[in-house]
Structure 1
Amino acid sequence: MIKAPLILLVFIFSFGLFSFKAYAEELSIKEPDIQSESAVLIDAKSGQILYSKDSDAIMYPASVTKMATAIYAIEKGNMEDIVTISKNARSVDGTRVYLEEGEQVPLKKLIQGLMINSGNDAGVAIAEHISGDTETFSEEMTAFLKSKVGLLHTNFTNPHGLFDPEHVTTAEDLAKLTQYASQNELFREIFSTEELKWDGETWDTTLHNHHKLLKVTPYDGMIGGKNGYVSESGFTLSTLAERENISLIAIVLNAKTDRISYKDTVKLLDYGFNHFTSEFIAEDTAFEDQSGQEFTLSEPLYYAKKLNESISEEVDLDGMLAVEGEDGRKIASHKLKPVIADAGNVVKGTVSDVQPSLGQSILHDHLKFIVMSSFAIVLLLVGYFFRQVRRL
């Protein structure tokens, strides 16, 4: 008869296998089902893509365009400038803040009206003040987006997003734009404003941010956002949300309904917050390649990884640091600086002795537990076999 200790060991071993399987399944996460035609979710600190659905497809952005107009005006203009509203700005189609011809408005207030109430008239007034006319402004803004923000697939022909077949971008470019712009303090303040008292020449009201996750149906961790719609683009959304473990940017383009655009956005954010965490390698951390040459980081390297996932860090002979996940996917890469002798304070840490992550520790503990349990079971079985032989 099999002794009770053997049964106990078999149970412990089985439990170890079960928990290890659960841990492995935790790392293999199911992606959200997104109905919008194009979408992307990125880690706001590193820009790393965490989810993508046709995120490089050329799309129409609608009023999400206004994020570009706002950040360009903030960097190019003087917020205290007084702008005189033209007839052209007064007569633009679509959503407005009801500016009057000849009305004089501070540039900052126009940017607020542009972003919070999606005022197309404010967009035209801003463009004419910065560049003289909307065509020149659009060309200069597009050049800025390419050279300064790195948007290689964006061409904006107006400051507000009203339909033009050549007014195009991608979800990835809009995520980069949101990431770049939200690092500006004034943009971030306006981006996150829920409501603003508006005293105009002929229109006194309270502006309410059109992004519903800010106030109408608040989302935990919501920082800011911009919505858009024209019939050719469908419903579009840019959203920035932040919790303790990670900051996320979600872009959805060409949703068939307003409800779908928000539902998809919440799915993306939930997916990011529930399954990923943001980490970084500190500036001046040193690594060694296989030849013993030391390299160091000149700035912090941010990256996002799955919760409880172990990561590996390797440096090739050219000083390129690669951070990889458990499934071999490249999480981040960075060109390192060679360390010069007596260069100063450097945090010593080769690739081999970097402290293990939580995921690595858990994985190691599971494997150690299973190996030790297996060894104990084998010893017990051998002892049991010899006892039976002696009895014969």
Structure 2
Amino acid sequence: MKKIISLVLAIFLISSSFITSFANEKPSVLGESAILMDYDTGKILYGKNIHKKMYPASTTKIMTALLTLENCDLNEVVTIDYDLGNIGGSSIYIKQGESFTVETLLRALLIKSANDAAVVLANHISGSTEEFAKLMNKKAKELKTKNTHFNNPNGLPDENHYTSSYDLALIAREAMKYDRFREIVKSKYIKIAATEQYPYDRVFKSTNKFLWGVRGGNTIEYKGSIVDIKYDLVDGIKTGYTDVARKCLVSSGQKDGFRLISVVLKSEGNEVYKDSRTLLDYGFDNYTEHNIINKDAEIGSKKISFTKEKILKYKAEENFNIVTKKDDNIDNIKTKIILKEPLEIPIKKGDYVGKVQISRNNKVISSVKLVASEDVNSIFFNVDINKILRILWFGLKIILSILFVVFSIMLLIRFINKRKK
């Protein structure tokens, strides 16, 4: 009996060790370039050729969508009064004379990956695709991308149209700040109402199999089993394919409030989904997110004399999170509040009043602005008595300093006269 128990225990320990080592093992992906990035902090959890120049194909449309959200009212109606010609690739087959809201075009862009919708949006925003490309490159520079240059709004082949997995992750992070973008990229299909040119509804399924792919050709071999591509942890973002770029995929996955972004470029077939799931699962299995500063919580307060409220309450302007390995110790993370000096009255809700400094192992790693939670007003018609007292005290110190200097000079003269006598 003891031998059986010992054998079972040994098997359990070996299995546990195997599972742990498997979970901690760095992922292997087929894609030529890939990255896994924490959404909140931008921390890189995995990388493969992350700064290598790559063709992005239709993942380009993330930038086109971002600029659309920044520059347009989604309810605007766009009338296509010109012939688009044969743009090629994925399309909703827009005809001259049709009218759509910007939101419909945005949905067509992100769900169906419509190249013609990209051109219409570019023309609407900048007047031409050439001018829109300039806007794309300007935005890329603002986001501090390193190896990106756009020449068109849809990602159709162009040797001067390139990016990197790192840069695409930055662009995707920015786009995911918009609630409407998040809602669109997780949609499984788009339905476009009939128009005079098309007297029937147009319905298109999302190009992203992560959202709907089950059975048949929508499966992958994953960790020794055949599984559906559909993965409930994934809520976007964008696929891409050209003969040169091959299969590209930018994904967003969320588990227990912890969001990760993966980018895989130049993979093959359904392997791009296997690559992406491998990265996301690696992140969720091995890393965790800690909320160090909560913007909704009052961090502290300070008494302020001669004010109606008598106290200043303050909180952080934004959340501060940190991502660590699951077994990392975070007891070495400390915070220090540094209030602005002097604090001048009146203070309005939301005014900057200082910062909270975050350090790890006694080394400052970041800081977050502190803002007033409520107004603070003077008891004397918003006259800052504290400021007046500071000025008076400063003046008194100057007067005392002058008197001290005069007195010292007088003593020195007296001493010199005594010496002469």
TM-score for both structures, normalised by structure 2: 0.66
Q: CA deviation at 1:87?
A: 4.0
Question: Distance in 2 between the 1:337 and 1:120 partners?
Answer: 42
Report the Cα offset of residue 145 of structure 1: 2.7
Aligned to 2:327: 308
Q: Closer, same or farther in 2 for the Cα pair 1:241/1:337, shift >3 Å? A: closer
Mapped to 2, the partners of 1:86 and 1:235 lie a distance apart of 34
Aligned pair partner of 1:232 in 244, 256, 268: 244
- 1:64 and 1:22 map into 2 onto residues whose CA distance is 39
Match of 2:212 in 1: 215
Q: CA deviation at 1:260?
A: 1.5
* Cα 1:69/1:338, change in 2 over 3 Å: closer
**CA distance in structure 1 between the partners assigned to 2:125 and 2:193 by the alignment:** 23
Equivalence for 2:366: 334
Identify, as 1 or 2, the structure richer in strand. Answer: 2
CA contact (8 A) 2:317 2:370 kept: no
1:186 aligned partner: 180
In 2, Cα distance between equivalents of 1:300 and 1:112: 30
Alpha carbons of 1:251 and 1:309: their partners in 2 closer, same or farther (altered >3 Å)?
same
Give the deviation of 1:141 after TM superposition: 2.0
Residues of 1 paired with 2:104 and 2:39: CA distance?
27
Out of 264, 286, 294, the residue aligned to residue 252 of structure 1 is 264
Task: Give distance in 1, aligned partners of 2:103 and 2:32.
Answer: 34
For 2:370 and 2:175, the matched residues in 1 are separated by 33
Distance in 2 (alpha carbons) for counterparts of 1:261 and 1:141: 26
From 46, 52, 66, give the equivalent of 1:51: 46
Q: Deviations over 1:165-221 (max 9, x none)?
A: 111111111111111111101111111111122224326332111110011132121
1:106 to 101, 105, 123: 101
Paired residues of 1:238 and 1:252 also in contact (CA < 8 A) = yes
Structure 2 unaligned segments of length 5 or more: list them: 1-5, 214-228, 301-314, 339-355, 377-421
| Equivalent position amino acid for 1:114 in 2 | L
What is the aligned-residue identity percentage?
31
Contact 2:152 2:161 in 1 (8 A): yes
Segments ≥4 residues shifted beyond 2 Å: 25-28, 86-91, 149-153, 199-205, 283-286, 296-300, 311-316, 318-324, 335-339
Alignment of structure 1 residues 271-350 onto 2, 5 Å: 271-283=282-294, 299-311=318-330, 312-313=332-333, 321-323=358-360, 333-335=365-367
2:80 matched to 1:68? Answer: no
1:38-97 CA-to-partner distances (Å, cap 9, x unmatched) read 000011111111110111111110000011101101110121222122545343111100
- CA displacement 1:253-305 (0-9 Å, x = unmatched): 011x121111100111111111111112115769xxxxxxxxx9764321211
2:193 is the alignment partner of 1:199: yes
> Residue type of the partner of 1:235?
K
For residue 137 of structure 2, give the secondary structure of its aligned residue in structure 1: helix
- Given the alignment, which residue of 257, 267, 273 partners 1:262? 273
Aligned residues: 309
Partner of 1:158: 152
Q: In the alignment, residue 145 of structure 2 is paired with which amino acid?
A: L
SS state at 1:258 partner: coil
1:323 to 1:300, Cα distance in 2 relative to 1, 3 A = farther
TM-score by length of 1: 0.71
Equivalent AA in structure 2 for residue 313 of structure 1: I
The answer (yes or no) to whether the contact 2:23–2:286 under 8 Å persists in 1 is no
Aligned-residue offset at 1:321: 4.0
- Tell me how far 1:322 sits from its aligned partner: 4.4
Q: RMSD value over aligned CA atoms?
A: 3.4
Q: Does the CA contact (< 8 Å) of 1:27 and 1:309 recur in 2?
A: no
For 1:306, the aligned partner's letter is K
Asked if the contact 1:197/1:206 (under 8 Å) is kept, the reply is yes
Matched to 2:27, the amino acid is P
